[in-house]
Structure 1
Amino acid sequence: MPWITTRRLNHLQAIADMYAENARGAWKAQRSAITNAAKIAERFVSADERTRAVEKRLDRVLRACAGYRATIRKRDQRIRALEARLDDLLGLNQQGVRDGAMWQERRTDKPKQVAP
């Protein structure tokens, strides 16, 4: 067995201690990275769940909006139909009434506009 000097032994022991310390530091860094990755994954899953909830609410709101618009369209059509029936009932659709619809614009005694 070869002999080594005390100085060489101390030097090799210092190198071994340095390697051991570096390994412990790497393990701490790895454990920290794994912990951080787990926290980030939890946040991502939580954000994904919140996004899904918002998507569901948005879909529900869009369906409700489409329903409201359809209801408004049906209401407007019914109003137009009822107005047309009322005009027919009151005789407002007769040709004489239609001819006199613009009577104010055809007036002969219409006042002229004066420039300010």
Structure 2
Amino acid sequence: MPWISRTRLADMRARIEQLAEQRDEARTDARRAFGASARLAGGTLELDEQVADLRSRLTAAQQDLTAEKRRADRLQQRLDDAVGINGPAVDSGAMWQQRRADKPITVKGEQR
């Protein structure tokens, strides 16, 4: 076995201590990085869940809106039918109001 000088041995020990410190710092940095990535991953999962929830709520709201529009259209049609807006006389006189068959004829301010 070859002999190592005391100076060389001291240099090697110093280098070993330096490498051990670097190793410890690297482990600490790795733990911090792992913790940060775990927190980020947890936050990302939470955001994904929130986005999925919002999408489902949006879909439900859009379906409700469509249903309410259909209901309002049906009610408007019933109202139009009840007040006679959809009658043939209205359709025939849509462009020329003077030719409406249901328009009351007035003679000097009187209605017939």
Bin for the TM-score computed over the shorter chain = 0.7 to 0.9
1:17-69: CA deviation from partner (whole Å, max 9, x where unpaired) = 11111111111111111111111111011111111111111111111100110
Instruction: Give me the CA root mean square deviation.
Output: 3.0
Residue 4 of structure 2 is matched in structure 1 by 4
Q: Looking at both structures, which has the greater relative contact order when contacts are Cα pairs under 8 Å and sequence separation is at least 6? A: 2
Residue 106 of structure 1 is matched in structure 2 by none
Residue 98 of structure 1 is matched in structure 2 by 100
Give the match's secondary structure for 1:3: coil
CA distance 1:22–1:84, shift in 2 (3 Å): same
| CA distance in 2: counterparts of 1:13 and 1:70, whole angstroms | 84
- Letter aligned with residue 41 of structure 2: A
Residue 63 of structure 1 is matched in structure 2 by 63
Per the TM alignment, residue 12 of structure 1 is displaced from its structure 2 partner at its CA by 0.7
Aligned length: 98
Which runs of 5 or more structure 2 residues have no equivalent in the other structure?
106-112
CA distance 1:80–1:64, shift in 2 (3 Å): same
Residue 31 of structure 2 is matched in structure 1 by 31
Which runs of 5 or more structure 1 residues have no equivalent in the other structure?
104-116
| CA distance in 2: counterparts of 1:49 and 1:100, whole angstroms | 62
Runs ≥4 residues deviating over 3 A: none
- Letter aligned with residue 72 of structure 1: A
| CA distance in 2: counterparts of 1:11 and 1:92, whole angstroms | 107
- Letter aligned with residue 20 of structure 1: A
Give the match's secondary structure for 2:84: helix
| CA distance in 2: counterparts of 1:92 and 1:36, whole angstroms | 72
* Structure-2-length-normalised TM-score: 0.74
